[in-house]
Each structure stands twice: as structure tokens, then as C-alpha cells.
Amino acid sequence: MDKKKYNDLSLKVFAVFIIIYFYHFIIKIAPGDDFYFKEVSNQFSFFDYLDFRYHEWTGRMSAEAGLYFFLDGMVWMWRIINSILILLLSYGINRLIRKEFSFSSFIIILVCFGYLSPSILSSGVLWITGSIVYLWPISLGVFAMIPFSDLSLRGARGFTLGRIFLSLCMGLLAILANEQVALCMLGFGALAIFHSLVKNRILDKRLILLWLVYLTAFMFSFYAPGNHRRFIAETATWFPGFDNLSLRDHLYIGIIWIYSKVFIQMKFLILLLSIITLCFFYIKKKNASKLVSRTVSLFAFLVISSVSIALIGNVEFIYDFEALKKFDVGYSLLHLWNSGPQFVFAIIPYVFWTIYTVLFMVVFLAVTKKRKFTLVCFLASIASMGIMFFSPTIYASGNRTLTVSAMLLIVIIANLISDLDELDKRKAIYVLLPLALINVLALLVNWAINGYAPILG
């Protein structure tokens, strides 16, 4: 890139940073966790606090360090770093899926952040405590995974010590901050190394060593004495008897929870991905077989129905996943004809969205080029939510725990759009931007009128 283009690009990125940074001025220390971490510096020195938390509550050492530092009178610096890390996440996703940086793709990814639900956006990205525990490790983790992506998807090798050291520092900060991010990083790194060895016959010793360091850091965090104490305390507070549930009970609770979260809290991301997938099919697969064409037609009908339902907003039964809790599912299925209409209505949301998902996957796999990569992202998105099946705070943690899964869906969207040429990407920005702006500005207006308060439920 010549100097003039580089300067133009830098100015554009800086302009975007300024917009995001000024948005942050409405964000203040919120009651609850923010106030707790604001006061800990009056009770502990920095290292005494980390020692206390590691042995009494959590192994998330880098997140705890960030909370201690930035909520102790450094909110002004948090605003700057949080704005930078939003940009870094967009850049990291862009580089994860392609070798060259594309400013249009960079902007599209930022626009996709605007399709996060207000709850996920405010609690996982625009809340001081939530951003340090979710956005920051996600951004750092994605950036740390770029060499693994270059190795597996592009056959790159011979990474410099400087690049490895940067990934090491960022990766360790991410792994020591969030378990969902850590497991995604370890899984992606292992698959990238294995895929490169099998397909390209490349065995990069530096990346293997880097992955082993990540694994060691995760074990240090996972086996922190405080994790067990926190589990006992949170079970007593949020879900008495959780530790006595069977595997079947965990799956039963978790499946109801995950359907609700995916198709309610992430419905606009799901619908966005579905519409983009359909558009790509009709553009690229004009000579598809009759079976595939019929599948697409049915899926298109479901997408249109879903969009209509989302816009109408008062068609509750298709999103009423909680109604199933009133029934013994196994018994009711075996005696379906005697179960009554209430049970049938209770399972309709699950039947509808399961059919929707199956049809979506058929159409999606027909249009995407990097099938293995996107399948890994889908599985990682589900797995990061699946961790909550075994957490007593499955209901208490709120929707910030969906941030990792939502960002993985944005990776999938970005991967699809990366195949467009620059002109089509610019058109996509104009199409996608209005709804994203409405969502983000509605949140801003709400805070301006009612005062800043992250939506944690």
C-alpha cells in the first residue's frame, strides 16, 4: 500500500474511532458490579486483590486486573480502550477470514455489531464490567488467532518472533479473562494446527508452542481454588439444588434456554444471516437442482414469515419457549394424542425453529465456500452457549454470556460477504446501515432520556 492510500485509510479509521469514542461519553459507572469493583481498591492492594479473587472467587485474572484498574478512577481511559477494541475486533474478524485488509469489510463488520440485541450490546460491549469480561477478551482472542487462521486457511508459515510474541501477549490476556473465549481459542488453534498438518503438510513448531502456552494458562485459570467456592456460593444464591441435577436435567434446562436465547435475543442476527444467505443463493446458484430449489423456496417462506413476526412483535406463541416447562416432555410425547392442544402449542416453537435451522444449513452450505471454517464457527457458537448448561447462573448472568456466540455469527456473516467485490460491499453497507443505526441510536436516546443503565436481563 502506498503512502497516500495508507494515510487516507488511517484518516477513515480515525474518523470511525471518533464517532465510537464520543458515543462512550454517555456511559458511566453503573450500580451493581461497577460500584463493587470501584470500591475494592479501598480494601485491597492490587496484588492482594488478585490473590484474594484467585483463591476465593475466580481464575479470570486479567479481567479482574482490568476491573480493579479501570474502575478506580480510570473510566476516561476505559472509554478510549473500549473504542479501540471495538475497532480491533472488526479488524481481527476481517483478517481472520482473509489475508488482505478491506476497509469495506471492516465497516460491514462494525455495522453488523448494530444488529446485536440491545441487551447483548449494552451488557457485553457498552458496560464497563461487561466489556472487560466479554468484549476485550473476544477482541484480543480473535487477534491472537490470526496466525492460526493464516496457517490453516492460507498455508502461511515462518511467522516472525514479533508476531508470535504479540499473539502470545494478547492470547494470554484473553484466556485469563473469559472461559468461553479460552475454549474457542484452544479449539480453533488445535483444529488449525491439525488441518495444516493433514492438508498442507505444514507443522509450525512456534504455533504449537504458543498453543501449549495457551493451554497451560487455561489450566491455571480453570483450576483456580476460587472457581469451586464461587460455584457453591452461586448455587446457593441463584439455583439451589443445581449441583444435584442429572445430565438429563442439565440438557433439558439448557435446550430450553438456548432456543430462547438464539431465537429471541439473537433473532436479528439470525434473520440477517438468513437473508444474506438467500441473496447469495439466488445470485450464485441459478442452476440448482429441483430439490435444492424447493428447499430454498420453503426456507425463503420461513424467513419471510419470521421477519413478519419480528416486525409485528405481538405473535408470542412462536417465541414462547418457556411453555414447555409445564409438561413432562417424555410422557407427553408418548401420549401425544391425549396431551391436549396446550402441549402441541408448547412444542410448536421448537418444531418451527428446528425446521428453520435445518433448512438454513442446507441453503447455507450450498452457497458458502469455506464450509469447514464456517461449520467450526457454528459449532463454537453453540458450544460457548452450551457451557452455560452447567452454570448455576444460567438465568442470573443475563445476556452478556451470549456475546461470544453473537460475535461468532458475525464472523460467519463477514465470511459470506468477503466474497463480494468492493462495489457490492459498499452497496451492502448502504443496505445494512439504516437498521443498525436505528438500533444503536435508540439505545443512545433511551439512555439520554432515562439515564445510563446497561440492560442486564
| Better-scored residue on pLDDT, 330 or 205 | 205
What SS3 state is found at 248?
helix
Confidence at residue 313, expressed as pLDDT on a 0 to 100 scale: 57
What SS3 state is found at 389?
helix
Residue 437 binned pLDDT confidence (cut-offs 50, 70, 90): very high
Minimum mean pLDDT range among 64-78, 112-126, 154-168: 154-168
**Position 255: which residue type?**
I
Q: What are phi and psi of 266, to 5 degrees?
A: -115, 20
pLDDT mean over 98-109: 91
Measuring CA to CA, which residue among 173, 180, 141 is closest to residue 66? 173
E strand segments, 349-438: none
Residue 191 has pLDDT above 80, yes or no: yes
Burial class (CB in 10 A: 0-12, 13-18, 19+), 194: exposed
| Better-scored residue on pLDDT, 454 or 296 | 454
Confidence at residue 287, expressed as pLDDT on a 0 to 100 scale: 62
Minimum mean pLDDT range among 159-163, 175-179, 212-216: 159-163
Residue 211 has pLDDT above 90, yes or no: yes
Counting residues of the chain whose pLDDT is more than 90, the rounded percentage is: 65
CA–CA separation, 305 vs 226, rounded Å? 47
Asked if 191 contacts 376 with a C-beta cutoff of 8 angstroms, the reply is yes
Counting residues of the chain whose pLDDT is more than 70, the rounded percentage is: 95
| Better-scored residue on pLDDT, 338 or 379 | 379
Asked if 369 contacts 284 with a C-beta cutoff of 8 angstroms, the reply is no
| Better-scored residue on pLDDT, 319 or 88 | 88
Q: Cell for 152?
A: 490453516
Q: Helices marked H in 71-178 — which ranges?
A: 75-97, 103-113, 118-124, 128-130, 136-144, 146-154, 161-175
Degrees (nearest 5) of the Cα angle 260, 122, 214? 80
Asked if 152 contacts 160 with a C-beta cutoff of 8 angstroms, the reply is no
CA–CA separation, 263 vs 255, rounded Å? 12
- Tell me what the pLDDT averaged over the chain comes to: 90
Contacts 24+ apart (CB under 8 A), 293-299: 295/359, 295/362, 295/363, 296/363, 298/359, 299/274, 299/356, 299/359, 299/360, 299/362, 299/363
Residue 196 has pLDDT above 60, yes or no: yes
**Position 127: which residue type?**
W
Residue 219 has pLDDT above 80, yes or no: yes
CA–CA separation, 434 vs 213, rounded Å? 43
Confidence at residue 115, expressed as pLDDT on a 0 to 100 scale: 95
CA–CA separation, 431 vs 428, rounded Å? 5
Asked if 83 contacts 24 with a C-beta cutoff of 8 angstroms, the reply is yes
Residue 456 binned pLDDT confidence (cut-offs 50, 70, 90): confident
pLDDT tens sequence across 291-324: 667 777 777 777 777 766 665 555 567 888 988 8
Confidence at residue 190, expressed as pLDDT on a 0 to 100 scale: 96
Would the pTM count as exceeding 0.85? yes
pLDDT tens sequence across 364-373: 888 888 888 9
- The one-character DSSP state at 60 is -
**Position 418: which residue type?**
S
Indicate if the alpha-carbon torsion angle 248, 253, 258, 259 is positive or negative: positive
Burial class (CB in 10 A: 0-12, 13-18, 19+), 117: buried
CA–CA separation, 87 vs 80, rounded Å? 11
pLDDT tens sequence across 352-366: 899 888 888 888 888
Q: Helices marked H in 223-328 — which ranges?
A: 225-238, 247-260, 267-284, 290-312
pLDDT mean over 192-220: 92
The segment with the largest mean pLDDT, out of 81-90, 244-253, 259-268, is: 81-90
CA–CA separation, 175 vs 141, rounded Å? 7
| Better-scored residue on pLDDT, 392 or 292 | 392
Within a 13 Å sphere around the CA of 272, how many CA atoms are in the beta-carbon half?
28
pLDDT mean over 80-102: 95
Asked if 392 contacts 233 with a C-beta cutoff of 8 angstroms, the reply is no
Confidence at residue 95, expressed as pLDDT on a 0 to 100 scale: 94
Contacts of 376 (CB under 8 A, 6+ apart): 187, 188, 191
pLDDT mean over 270-297: 77
Confidence at residue 261, expressed as pLDDT on a 0 to 100 scale: 94
pLDDT tens sequence across 398-413: 899 999 999 999 999 9
Residue 181 has pLDDT above 90, yes or no: yes
